[in-house]
Structure 1
């Protein structure tokens, strides 16, 4: 059996990039909860764009673009009214935020590991929920940030 795992070394995100991602994610999730749109299938999705690098995005059979990766928000948070609160497995929201962001940072590091970070990588984050199986957004908020 052959191992098809790519041979690469993760490049840690800088503290500035982690702060930019954290601020953006907190704004998006606060908006999602405030709009009363956090559901069991709500996702935090992202795409990585690198200038000059062509990369086909995968599609589901229905034909919509797949994100580079995603996180199920309700693994970490639920709502109380229109406020985010830690999901059942967490003692407090601080630990939930730490775990969600650690997972997101790790996934972003995987997708940016083979890229020269001086190229101006753009991270597009969005959250909401899709109509399944067609994949059209029922509700979504998004934001692009450039990693520095």
Structure 2
């Protein structure tokens, strides 16, 4: 651990508030892309942590899917960190759910659920807390049960092994 004098070599500017690091936390709205990332982080963090595999899956989805066109790796990191910090608040889950629901137009709600399914499928074994969070996401987004089943089945089919 560096001594105090070593730290003085790199003085930090005073930080006015947490919002300087995570402006997403103080806004009442998210962009649709931030809401999609928030949804992925919710299901990934539901079992108490986010694995490297889940992070890699989220990064890959952001890098290649058209819905994330123009969304940078830095924005992914900021949105992910802000979501994790939001979840630490007493009512963080309810606040995150409201932000996601309000940010996503109907046409992107199925996309959000599909992305959440992809993140869970990236784990070698889905844990019960993640599956419960996935149910909560489907409920909050007001998705049709047939759509939910179709998305889950497609995700399962894509991740089958020989």
Higher normalized strand content (fraction of residues): 1
Q: Choose 1 or 2 for highest CA Rg.
A: 2
**Higher helix proportion:** 2
